[in-house]
Structure 1
Amino acid sequence: MNETLTTVDGRPVLRIERRLAHPPEKVWRAITEPEHLSQWYPFRATELELRIGGKIHFDDGAGTTMDAIVTELDPPRLFAFSQHAPPGMTRESDDLVRFELRPEGAAGTLLVFTHIFDDRYGAASYASGWQVCLDALEAVVAERPFEPGYPAAELHDSYVEKFGLDSGTFSDTADGWLVRFERQLTQPAEQVWAQLTGEGAAEPEAGDAVPQAFTSKKVHPGAVTSVKAPALLEYEWESGGRTGGRVRWELSTGTGHGARLVLTQTGPNDLTAERHTALKAWKSRIAQLAEQLRALPRA
């Protein structure tokens, strides 16, 4: 995999290279002519004005539309546009999608694809999704049939690890410290919640013992303090016979078809060693959860 994730001016930049056994002029038609672009791009292009400042209108046919503006144009070498995220994509603003075509060999093309966006933790969804799209682009250019696909959970999670999106962070607070993990998952919140609480189990309530799947071996749970299925569960954790702080699991709409998990643990300054334990323990526990979700049928 030659995909890279960097940061430029505070925004994540995904870069993918593809070598195509076709000249740039043929690839150019596949990325700029609506009838060809619509065959492989995530959205169908219903309008495309091929000029700087030209409008592009995308429609997925299921109620979601997206508008874009051509920002760079140098046939048959460079095509880029800024697309405004639809209302449902609350973590994004104006993404930049860029295609650079470089002649390679007698009749080949090196495609350098770049996507600049806002939601760093969605990078694995974008990378795996674009992999599928670029496979389709290659088929369109080669004029061979293909079956539209969906990125496998295994491919998605391989990018989570490749880009270091499985690591947690810690910060100081007014009362001590905060450990935080954010991860895009491959199943919707309802499926994740069922995996954590146990299929068919009674929903936990405030004051109950914490369901085991919401804990780790290194973090000793107290009682549930707050719960709102399938979006939130919070509980106290204990150390040395006293309350150390709180652990909070939150599930919300993510990038892709799965839920976004945000897990936090707070603690006091006199239990700093527990902070390091929490970083290691929760990374392992979330990786285990991701593996369990990969084994489920795609929702």
Structure 2
Amino acid sequence: MNDTLSQAGGGRSALTLERRIAHPPKKVWQALTEPAQLAHWFPSEVRVELTVGGRMGFVFPGREGPDMDGVVTELDPPHVYAFTWGEDHLRWELRPDGDGCVLTLTHTFGDRFGAASFASGWHVCVSGLAALLDGEKSAPVDMAELHERYVEEFGLAEGAVETAEDGGWRLRFERQLVRPEETAWQALAGQTDATTLAVGAPVPVGFRTDAVPAGAISEVDAPRVLSYDWERGGRPAGRVRWELTQGTGHGARLVLTQTGPEGADEERSAAAAAWRRHIGLLAAKLLRMPG
């Protein structure tokens, strides 16, 4: 197994999964291109005109018409099959390897922080493809745990330092979570009564860390937004903002930012390390909560 995440240019990312499959390219090609076989392992029903430039439709369970459209961009049987998938691009390559072959999937997309969701999804799909060819059932996989392993493997848990409009700094963490907004909010707010979450009220412990002294809540819109000023010497020094939005479908997308004044490098470094740990603990807690 060899999975990587790289830059693809134009602000896009490329996820590459490589697997050896114990079947020759011709047999694997049929499972990649024939709708009857795709139905057993691909995440949607596929309708395709199998020619370069041919139209494609992807129909997900419970729907009647295509949720997404695509176009075949490359076709070299039984070696290369590539197509657009909405705004994304998928390229499947089969390379002979002894009595089997090596399958390489390259998924190019714009949402870098969705990479762990895409990787865990394709991991399960390709495992299902191999099981289909082997005449076996796919082994059960804990998708949430697999997702979090990919977050760490791809470096998606790290924060970024940006320059704020006032010349100070902004720490920014973005992370795809494995549970929906309401569940993530519950994990953050803990036993705090929702009626007490108001402007001017204390910040619940789940939304703060000891490295960043918290003032009172300045904005709250449960279960999506909570922000507050952080303090230095009892005075506001910047703003911390938590936001939960729609993610990849695997759960909510968390965006955490903290602004600070120019010259507070030590405080910024301490905050970056503290938020990294804090979000990691949140992610671990969500793994133990029902989906």
TM-score computed with the length of structure 1 as normaliser: 0.92
CA distance in 1, matches of 2:177, 2:137: 31
200, 209, 214: which one aligns with 1:216: 209
Write the deviation string for residues 56-106 of structure 1: whole angstroms up to 9, x where unpaired: 11111323621111000000011000111xxxxxxxxx111111001111x
**Structure 1 residue 151, shift from structure 2 partner:** 4.9
- Counterparts of 1:1-299 in structure 2, within 5 Å, are 1-9=1-9, 10-45=11-46, 47-63=47-63, 65-84=67-86, 94-105=87-98, 107-146=99-138, 151-175=142-166, 176-199=168-191, 201-203=193-195, 204-297=197-290, 299=291
Q: Secondary structure at the match of 1:205?
A: coil
The answer on whether the counterparts of 1:132 and 1:151 sit within 8 Å (CA) in structure 2 is no
The answer on whether the counterparts of 1:128 and 1:151 sit within 8 Å (CA) in structure 2 is no
**Structure 1 residue 143, shift from structure 2 partner:** 2.5
The answer on whether the counterparts of 1:5 and 1:163 sit within 8 Å (CA) in structure 2 is yes
The answer on whether the counterparts of 2:127 and 2:138 sit within 8 Å (CA) in structure 1 is no
Say which is worse superposed, 184-193 or 8-17, in terms of deviation. Answer: 8-17
* Paired residues, number: 286
**Structure 1 residue 202, shift from structure 2 partner:** 2.9
Alignment gaps of 5+ in structure 1: 85-93
Query: Using a 3 Å threshold, how does the CA distance of structure 1 residues 252 and 78 change in structure 2: closer, same or farther?
Result: same
**Structure 1 residue 55, shift from structure 2 partner:** 1.3
Q: Secondary structure at the match of 1:266?
A: strand
The answer on whether the counterparts of 2:162 and 2:171 sit within 8 Å (CA) in structure 1 is yes
Q: Give the aligned partner of residue 88 of structure 1.
A: none
The answer on whether the counterparts of 2:174 and 2:256 sit within 8 Å (CA) in structure 1 is yes
Query: Using a 3 Å threshold, how does the CA distance of structure 1 residues 210 and 34 change in structure 2: closer, same or farther?
Result: same
Query: Using a 3 Å threshold, how does the CA distance of structure 1 residues 163 and 192 change in structure 2: closer, same or farther?
Result: same
Write the deviation string for residues 29-53 of structure 1: whole angstroms up to 9, x where unpaired: 00001111121111111x2111001
Say which is worse superposed, 274-283 or 222-231, in terms of deviation. Answer: 274-283
**Structure 1 residue 261, shift from structure 2 partner:** 0.3
Q: Secondary structure at the match of 2:249?
A: coil
CA distance in 2, matches of 1:152, 1:146: 13
Q: Secondary structure at the match of 2:27?
A: helix
TM-score computed with the length of structure 2 as normaliser: 0.95
- The one-letter amino acid of 2:31's match is A
**Structure 1 residue 271, shift from structure 2 partner:** 2.4
**Structure 1 residue 255, shift from structure 2 partner:** 1.1
CA distance in 2, matches of 1:35, 1:194: 42
Percent identical among aligned pairs is 49
CA distance in 1, matches of 2:251, 2:281: 16
Alignment gaps of 5+ in structure 2: none
CA distance in 2, matches of 1:202, 1:11: 39
CA distance in 2, matches of 1:207, 1:117: 41
- The one-letter amino acid of 2:59's match is D
